[in-house]
A and B are shown apart, each in its own frame.
Chain A
Amino acid sequence: MNGCPVNDTIRVLEESIESSVFKDPRIRRIGEEILELMKDVAWGRAGEDHIPAIKDLAKTIVEDSTDENAGQAGQNVIHALENHEEVFTSHVQTHNCTTGDCVRLAPAPCQMACPSGIDVPTYVALIGMGRDAEAIEVIRKDNPFPWICGLVCTRPCEFMCVRGRIDTPISIKHLKAFAAEKALSDREYKNPEKAQDKNKKVCVIGAGPGGMSAAYFLALKGYQVTVFEAQPVAGGMMMLGIPRYRLPREVIDREVAMIEELGVEFRFNTRFGKDITFDQLKSQGFEAFFLGIGAHKAFDLNIPGEKNFSQVLEAIDFLRKVALGERKLPGKRVVVIGGGNVAIDAARTSLRLGSKEVIIAYRRTRHEMPADIEEVEQAEEEGIRFSFLTIPIEIVGENDNLKGLKCLRADLVAKEGSDRKIPVPMLGSDFIMEADAVISAIGQRVDHMELKSISDLKWSRRTTVNVDMASMQTARPEVFAAGDAVTGPATVVEAIGGGKRAAEAIDRYLSGIPQPEMPPVPVRRKRVDWLEVPAATKMVLKRPEMPLLNIERRRTTFQQAELGYSENQVREEARRCLRCDVCLRCGKCVEICRDKMGIDALELGYLDFDHPVKTDFRVTEEKCILCGACAANCPNDAVCIEDRKGERILDMCGTILNRQKLLYCDSCGAVIGPARYMDYVKNRLDSLPPRTEKEKICAACARKKSAKLLSI
């Protein structure tokens, strides 16, 4: 057995039944019962009683069967259950098959891509049905911050979205934001049920996305969680690093309040290592620790004058002060150094505080800028200017009166033996960019000093906390870490995923269960119905543009820049989803239609990950004969054919690929299929009497008629 033990056991059992291994009718019936129960396990519809019931039935076969082979087959089932108990239980409890062999339980690419493992197709379908609160319930099984992520996630899911191979990915992020807002507005945004109290205390250091996610999942598991935070508010970088025009404070506050509702205690203005030490916390009875201190320390520019002027600011410190309410103009003419998202945030924030001119100085070109393209575009619309190929060399001024930033022009030159171009200063090209404030945004790192009270903690050469990425456990077994402290400055959703993973590992640690060797695979939460959409509609629906606040307000206030989709846009956008949780893109339908039936009616160019070609669902209606071979061979019931209201309908995960009128037998009234299918059959069965224009008869009546003709 190489793949999933559940799937393998089903296959062996099916072979045993088909090859009449079970000769005794009673034993055969028990074998069939085991098969049915096994399929329930593989399809995610089994309950807690399934595994014991299978074991009992298999024991009955072993004990009651007089045939050696039948007894061995029963024994094989028992062995599989005993040797792979955890896998079988995981199928039942988490509806998850890590190998993907149990096709009903295989996560879609979008879900696999999500660092927090959200069941994307399920919640997108629920949003499409208008069931927003249920969608949020599904999201919050894996991520406590659907609204926050709906506004600021870097959306790896959309990069892997299969719809993106046809035209543009589903706007997963914005759909999530809409559903969260709607559910909160309808007062239907609820916490999942907590497990029974475990009477164990866990300490979380840092109220950022990683820390609060760990706290959320640990609280759900029944632990008493206390979060220590150096700042006066919760949110970490979400609150202090991301400006309010991208993520309003109310959004963070509402979702943090949901975590507090679970009984998580927050202690603000308490800096770990200064106000409270590791030993003090241990003496308070905390049995496990999660470190989510982030990466808040800015890198120095290392140029002359950097420390001489109060108008030289660190972006992260500047953004933090503004986030906490300070509204001081940094300067009339501001130069921001850097090319990442923090540089863009600092520039746009300066503009909103009233700076007349804001320039971003970046040492490479626009093409190499690591900031998100949408952020760069929005900054340009607001009037931020860019100075590319610009290397700062000195801050110039007199008596704490900053005059400007001395820079050199640069040229991008390929390094020998590498495609990577590096900026090389051009001699004699120095110039001064006039400025009365310079903001440095060249990156952050973890502050080692905060964690010095924890002995034996190991650090990576990137000055991040060293952990086992499968469990987020540090060199000290009772200490776990995630977020920017582990990855360096990264994304909110990555920190959430890390916090969730650490919570699982802390639970294992406190329960005495060994840690996993690989990171967990996301869990399917449901298999909801699909939305029915005609092929033409599926092709023409386009991803909506995000409406933005008018430019004057964007330049002057911290109001949310993205206004959100309308309800109609959201429901329509959800209908574009291909439901890759159901269609696994195995391509069997295409092969059968093209190679076996010779029809080639399925133009599904998106099936290939590396080389997608043209897709057009509308082509099917032109060629398809509605034979049903594709549906019959689909391993996951993604392609279905059914007769409904006088029509035969072929649909793939809700996309109506073809619908044709049904013909009925003139003789007995039975359904004989659509005309196109009858013509296909007629061409292959010349022995049947010709179908006249006036007479349509079914195969049974045709045979009777032929028999009569032959007997004359």
Chain B
Amino acid sequence: MVIFRKGQRVVIFQKSEDESWEDYMDSYIGSHGIITDPDTTKNDPDDLVEVSVDGKGTHRFPQDCLKLLND
């Protein structure tokens, strides 16, 4: 797992087992987005990070469903 930083491009590559994952989020799997607000206090791998998903709005996701996209 990496530390996510503002402006990084990510893909929602899998469903998360975290309790914060809601059913409607299944439709976001495979979508690309940009990290807009990582955990701004502690860099806690357990915190939810804010991602703007291309065409699907801005939401908070658990970090285990996110993967960095290579440039």
Contact = CB atoms under 8 A, between A and B. Distances in A.
Interface of A: 100, 109, 112-115, 154, 156, 159-160, 338-342, 364, 368, 370-373, 418-421, 441-444, 460-462, 468-470, 487-491, 494, 497, 517-519, 521-522, 609-610
Contacts, number: 110
Nearest to A362: B43
Contact of B36 (A154, A468, A518): A154
Nearest to A443: B41
B59 A160 contact: no
A299 to B, nearest CB: 8
8 contacts: A112-B52, A112-B58, A113-B58, A418-B1, A462-B46, A491-B37, A494-B50, A610-B9
Contacts of B47: 462, 488
A364 B41 CA distance: 12
B59 A487 contact: no
A240 B50 CA distance: 23
Contact of A340 (B1, B6, B40): B40
A487 B48 CA distance: 8
A159 B19 CA distance: 28
A373 B7 CA distance: 11
A469 B21 CA distance: 10
Contact of B39 (A364, A370, A468): A370
B41 A442 contact: yes
A45 B46 CA distance: 46
Contacts of B57: 112-113, 115, 519, 521-522
A156 B53 CA distance: 10
Contacts of A519: 24, 57, 59
Main secondary structure of the interface of B (DSSP, over half): loop
Given A159-B6, A522-B57, A442 B32 contact: no
A468 B20 CA distance: 9
A610 B38 CA distance: 20
What 10 pairs between A and B have smallest CB-CB spacing? A156-B36, A340-B41, A443-B41, A113-B52, A518-B24, A370-B40, A419-B2, A420-B1, A159-B34, A340-B40
Contacts of A489: 40-41
Main secondary structure of the interface of A (DSSP, over half): loop
B36 A370 contact: no
Given A100-B55, A462-B48, A517-B23, 18 more contacts: A112-B52, A112-B58, A154-B37, A156-B37, A340-B42, A371-B40, A420-B3, A420-B45, A443-B42, A460-B20, A462-B46, A462-B47, A488-B47, A489-B41, A497-B58, A517-B24, A609-B32, A609-B54
Nearest to A116: B58
A370 B50 contact: no
Nearest to B70: A610
Contacts of A364: 43
A372 B58 CA distance: 18
Nearest to A610: B32
A174 to B, nearest CB: 17
A314 to B, nearest CB: 13
A131 B58 CA distance: 28
A491 B2 contact: no
A419 B70 CA distance: 15
A442 B40 CA distance: 10
Given A491-B50, A494-B50, A368 B24 contact: no
B6 A338 contact: no
B29 interface: no
Contact of A470 (B22, B32, B35): B22
A372 B40 CA distance: 8
Nearest to A417: B1
A501 to B, nearest CB: 11
A542 to B, nearest CB: 19
B40 A114 contact: no
Contacts of B55: 100, 109, 112
Contact of B52 (A100, A156, A462, A488): A156
A370 B22 contact: no
Contacts of A419: 1-2
A154 B38 CA distance: 11
Given A160-B34, A368-B3, A420-B1, A341 B40 contact: yes
Interface string B10-34: 0000000001101110010000101
A370 B42 CA distance: 7
Contacts of B56: 112
B7 to A, nearest CB: 6
A368 B45 CA distance: 13
A441 to B, nearest CB: 8
